[in-house]
Amino acid sequence: MSGARVFLVRGLSKTYRMGEVEVTALRGVDLEIAEGELVVVLGPSGSGKSTLLNVLGGLDTPSAGEVRWRDEELSHADDATLTRFRRDHVGFVFQFYNLVPSLTARENVALAAEIARDPMTPEEALGLVDLSARLDHFPSQLSGGEQQRVAIARAVVKRPDVLLCDEPTGALDIATGRRVLSALAGVNRELGTTAVIITHNAAIAAMADRVLHVHDGGIARVQRNERRAVPEELAW
């Protein structure tokens, strides 16, 4: 592990009620993530990886176990604490971009910048993902890959400590997907932002420092890559 520990997860379990059925999404997960690390969480759909990401990002609270962000206990935090945690430390990237359709690329990024403590400018953030030429375009005027890069810029503009990405290439073709991953890797490398990428696409695992294979609500196997592949080398 290269840097200091940022996430510490012990005995994490999560049970949902789906209608009248109880679904166990996570059962007793133990995990640590270090500063600056790029972690890929790999697993089939329904394995519990999204739930893990939601709990790490403070979107959801565990049914049992402990989740710590540095010295802060997230497991039983209230909504205000979790909101502050997300606002100050976390950048999210989603499969379907989740841009605000009524705002331009620049404004979508500004949306996050305006509530952050020490943001970069929206233009800088969009420059990082190579979108300086599309600042004033609305989402409806951008391709899927471009929309996802705007979403990444929106996630990084606040200089977050950790980027949490849920299937960031899930809705994209290979070439576009590579560009998006390359943008994520660039942010991780240049800004030292810890990144957790969730995917069911095994090919992406090669770009990680560490790969967590999730199966049936638990971490089945941990794989450490000696060398991180550059996204341009990936193929699927």
Nearer to another protein, 47 or 182 (CB): 47
Quick one: which segment of 63-71, 114-122, 185-193, 218-226 binds another protein (CB under 8 A)? 114-122
Closest among 88, 83, 85, 162 to 119, alpha carbons compared: 88
The two three-digit tokens of residue 112, written as one number: 């996050």
Q: Are strands 90-93 and 162-166 parallel, antiparallel or unpaired?
A: parallel
197 binds another protein (CB under 8 A): no
19 binds another protein (CB under 8 A): no
Long-range contacts of 10-17 (CB under 8 A, 24+ apart): 10/65, 10/66, 11/64, 11/65, 11/66, 12/52, 12/55, 12/62, 12/64, 12/65, 12/66, 12/67, 13/62, 13/63, 13/64, 13/65, 14/48, 14/51, 14/55, 14/60, 14/62, 14/63, 15/63
Nearer to another protein, 71 or 101 (CB): 101
- The correct pick among 26, 33, 56, 99 for binding another protein (CB under 8 A) is 99
Interactions with another protein, residue window 135-164 (CB under 8 A): 138-140, 154, 158
- The correct pick among 171, 191, 203, 229 for binding another protein (CB under 8 A) is 171
Which DSSP helix (H) or strand (E) runs through 185?
helix 174-191
231 binds another protein (CB under 8 A): no
Quick one: which segment of 67-75, 77-85, 183-191, 211-219 binds another protein (CB under 8 A)? 77-85
Helix (H, G, I), strand (E, B) or coil at 90: strand
CB of 151 to another protein, least distance (A): 9
Quick one: which segment of 29-37, 109-117, 185-193, 196-204 binds another protein (CB under 8 A)? 109-117
- Distance separating the N- and C-terminal Cα atoms of the chain: 28
Helix (H, G, I), strand (E, B) or coil at 80: helix
DSSP for 143-174 reads -HHHHHHHHHHHHHTT--SEEEEESTTTTS-H
86 binds another protein (CB under 8 A): yes
CB of 80 to another protein, least distance (A): 7
CB of 54 to another protein, least distance (A): 5
- The correct pick among 1, 3, 30, 100 for binding another protein (CB under 8 A) is 100
Q: Which residues bind another protein (CB under 8 A)?
A: 50-51, 54, 57, 59-60, 79-80, 83-84, 86-88, 90, 92, 94-96, 98-104, 107, 110-112, 114-116, 138-140, 154, 158, 166, 171
